[in-house]
Every structure is written in C-alpha cells, then in structure tokens.
Amino acid sequence: MNESRTPLIIGNWKMHKTAAEARSFFADLARELGSAGMPADVEAGIAPPATALHAAAEGQTLGVRVYGQNVHWATHGAYTGELSAAMLTEAGAAGALIGHSERRQYFGETDATVNQRLKAALAADLQAVVCIGERLEDRKSNQTLDVIARQLDGALADLEAAAVARLVLAYEPVWAIGTGETATPDQAQEVHSFIRTHLALRFGAETLAAVRILYGGSVTPENVAILLAQPDVDGALVGGASLDAGKFAKLLHFR
C-alpha cells in the first residue's frame, strides 16, 4: 500500500445471495461494525448478483459502493442475458467488475471482449475493475508475466492515459481463487509491481500513480493485512470471505 492511494476492498458475491439475503447481510454488517462504523480511510464495495443490486444499493446507509459483476458493451440490443451500463447505473451500481477469471473460463470472455466492456463502462462513468491473472500452468511454465502483459495490453487497447488513470485493476491468480491457496505477499508484490511498471511505460508514470491494483484469491481476515502491506497492493477483491458480514467487517478494519 502506498499512502497516496486509498485502500479499496471489494466483495465479489458471484452467484450467491438473493435480494432478501443482501438486505440481511447489510443489517448484519452494520451490527458487526458496531460503534466503530466504517473505517474512514478505506473504500468498500460489494458486487452482488444483478437481481440483488438494487436491494444492496438501497438497503444500507454504510456507504458501501455497489458494483455489477459484468457490463455489456452495447447500450441495448439483442444480447440475451446481458446488462448495459445504464441498467447497472439505474439499479444503483457505481462500477462493474470486468473480465473476472470465471467469466473467461466458463463463459468465453476474451481480452477483446474485456476491452469492449471496459470502454462501455468508462463511457458511462462506471468505475471499472478489470481482472487479470495467470493460470497454474502459466505460473509453472514461467509465463506469468507474459500472460499478465498480454491481458493488460488486450484489455487496455486503444485507451487514452486519462481513461487508464480512472481504472481499478485486480490481479487474481486463477490458481488462488476459491482454492484456499493464496499468493505469498512476495508473489503478489512481484506481479503488482510488474503491472505498474508495464502501464507506466505505456501510459506515463504520472497517470499510473493513482491507479489502484487490488489482489484477489483466497483473501481472508487473517491474511489481508500482510498482503496490503506490500507497496503495490492497494486493496483486495474478496470472494468467499465477503459472504460473511463478520468477516467482511474484519476485512474492512484490516489496519
């Protein structure tokens, strides 16, 4: 973490929680936070399923930002199952995840579709959280940094530096997602620092100073502090542990 960047912790609920469950999560979260409330120096977000977006955005006064789990590139059209940026905004979302590894792995998302979705999010003023990360076989064959560079270049194709400056990136090694296996703080720092350098070379160091790079993959209240102590780790994208209000409250109060 670098003190010039406010830490950002986003819970990705994936396909968990109905609207009613989202409401009770926020009631529980308020209770778990107690008199300490939300930490003043941390930004918090939750990416619920689309059907719970509105309930999550309206059902709390904690100031937790709400994110879509994806966003389509078109404003409207014959795209069964997809959501436009305007639909997300209307439901109360302030941003959207883009290119999560589960979208890439199970739903054929590619760097090119990530790029299109990202452009739509930026055009609509949604805070885009672009997810990248290598698979186990990439890491074993020493391809990690090549894969990351390729994903970054594909996702950010044709973007101006000013647009890149508004992004949040999430480095999530696929082998660490939902497996209980976490990248070591050194492994995370190595890739985060590579991402920052790679983008600085392409878009200018000044642009990059503000871009937050989150780590994701089996983050828990137990390991969050050590991960966020790394100089280029600016927050966390948390799956499993974010489903529990008590754990999410602890994650927010990692300091």
The 142-171 contact track toward ligand PGA, x by CB under 6 A, reads ------------------------------
Tell me the site size for ligand PGA, rule CB under 6 A.
12
Q: Which is nearer to ligand PGA, 22 or 207 (CB)?
A: 22
Active site residue 16: no
H-helix or E-strand containing 74? none
For 27, 29, 58, 74, the CA distances from 23, given in Å and listed in that order, are 6, 10, 9, 30
Is there a catalytic annotation at residue 100?
A: yes
Quick one: which of 179, 168, 165, 169 has its CA closest to 136? 179
Q: Indicate which single residue of 43, 109, 134, 172 sits in contact with ligand PGA (rule: CB under 6 A).
A: 172
Among 152, 237, 245, 249, binds ligand PGA (CB under 6 A): 237
231 interacts with ligand PGA by CB under 6 A: no
Residue 55: both structure tokens together? 């309930």
Helix (H) or strand (E) holding 187: helix 185-203
The pattern of x and - marking residues 1 through 40 that bind ligand PGA according to CB under 6 A reads -----------x----------------------------
Helical pair 144-155 and 185-203, crossing angle rounded to 10 deg: 40
Q: How far is the CB of 42 from ligand PGA (least distance, A)?
A: 18
Transcribe 118-176 into DSSP letters: HHHHHHTT-EEEEEE---HHHHHTT-HHHHHHHHHHHHTTT--HHHHTT-EEEE--GGG
- Under rule CB under 6 A, residue 221 binds ligand PGA: no
Cα–Cα separations (whole angstroms), residue 46 to 43, 203, 223: 11, 29, 19
Please state the closest distance from residue 74 (CB atom) to ligand PGA, in A: 25
Query: Smaller CB distance to ligand PGA: residue 159 or 170?
Result: 170
Handedness of CA 153, 156, 159, 165 (dihedral sign): negative
Q: Does the protein bind ligand PGA through residue 218 (CB under 6 A)?
A: yes
Q: What are the residue numbers of the active site?
A: 100, 172
Binding stretches for ligand PGA (CB under 6 A) = 12, 172, 177-178, 216-219, 237-240
